[in-house]
Every structure is written in structure tokens, then in C-alpha cells.
Structure 1
Amino acid sequence: MEARISIITLGVSDSAASTAFYRDGLKLPLLADQSNETISFFEVNRGSLWLALYPAHLLAEDARVAPERTGFRGFTIAHNLRSPEEVDQIFREALAAGATAVKSPEKVFWGGYSGYFADPDGFLWEVAHNPFSWIE
């Protein structure tokens, strides 16, 4: 298998509110020509990856799994930044857009600086500065 991820799809409870959060709050570029009232696509990593928002119950139905979800979902989405100051800035912008603070940015055990916020559906985003490596 080729090591590549093309689309990350989040099952959301309110498509319009989640689309507004990611488009207007986090300023992700909406791919309007690919999106409709059911699904929203956003370009990330200069187009090498898309983030999709799709109604949670329809996503569960498509995957043939139960739609109930509780607690920690077993993954986070990370946004690596160039400095601790950028981490603080993005964290503040996310909260202003409607995110919930989970862990305020701080120096962490592995030598970096990071914090976590949750989007309107509880998906965890880590904003981090790793002084040892950079992922473009």
C-alpha cells in the first residue's frame, strides 16, 4: 500500500455549524465546488489532504457501524506550528471561533509546547510547536 492519506472525514452533528467553525473560525479554505449541503470539503496541506465534514449518522451508516460515540475517540488532529507564540495565537483564535479549551498550551514532557482544543463535535485538535522537527 502506498503511504498516503487523502481525506480525513469527521462525522458531525450539525453540518452548517461545523462548516462555519472550520471555514470562518479556523479559516480553512472551503472547496465550494466540491461541497454541498450534506458534505463540506476543506483543502489542507496545500491541497495534498482534504478535511471532510459529513453528518455523523450518515457516516456511521455508510461504514455500517453504530452511530453512538462517547468519550475519547482514540485520535487527535495535530497542527504543528513554527513557535510557541503561534501555538498561543491559534489556540486563542480557535476559542474565539467556538472551540472548547481542553488543555491550555504549555511546555510538555517531550520538550515541545502544545495545547488541545475541541471542535463543536468534540474532536480534539492539538496545536503544537516541536523544536526538534518540522512537518510541512
Structure 2
Amino acid sequence: MKKITGITAERYEDIVAEKKYYNIPYIYLNEDEAVEYELLLREIHHSNDIYELINPLKEQQRIKFIHKVLLRYKQEYDCLTKSKNSENYEELILNYIDRTGKDHDAKKAYSSLVRRFGNEIKRMREEVLIKISE
């Protein structure tokens, strides 16, 4: 990797870790959502036992967060759809492209959030089970 970019793999990982914006799902979140996402991840990482990880109230918070992100995308999509009744063909094409992009981003945001929350819970559950078995 050093030959291509001039940096080591470790340095590359450090840069990506520093620039959270480049990490999925951050690229699909606005600033407020990114802060809330960090808080939800922190709750997962600071769980002391298995019952905190599978707490239904915390799971409900994560689901509400994902729903809120999707609702924002829907509102942005609806705003684009309202301007659909235009006589200008070029404007209609650009509007279609924008709507398709919003739809794609919403799907990616959903899948990346669900996958990330699931992976973090699974990883923490394994750590808790290892601690218990020792």
C-alpha cells in the first residue's frame, strides 16, 4: 500500500478513523444525527452485562433513531417530488436524478445503520460472554 499512496496501512487506518465522515454510516447522517448515533454506539460499548445489550428500551431507541433518519430522507424526497410538475424537460430529468439519489441514500443509510448496530451488539455480546466464561 505504501508504494501507491506513500503511506503505510496503519497510517491509512488512522486517517480514516480520524475522519469519521468517511466511515459508513456517517456519510448518510447530518450533524445532529451523527451526535445521536455516537451516543447510541457509546451505550452499546459501555454495556456491563448481557442484559444491558438486549434491553428492549435501548433497542427501541435505536429503532426510533433509524426511523428518524429515514423520515428525514422521506421529507427531502417529498420536497423534490413536489417540484415535479415543471414544463422544463431538463429540470424534470435533474429532479428524477435527485429523487433516485435520495432513494438510494435512504436505502444505504438504513442498511448500514442496522448492520453497524447489529455488529457492535454482537461484538460486545461476545466480549461479555468471554468475560463470564473466564
TM-score, L = length of structure 2: 0.29
Structure with more of its chain in helix, by fraction: 2
More strand by share: 1
Q: TM-score, normalised by structure 1?
A: 0.29
Which structure exhibits the higher relative contact order, with contacts defined as CA atoms closer than 8 Å and separated by 6 or more residues? Answer: 2
Q: Which has the larger radius of gyration?
A: 2
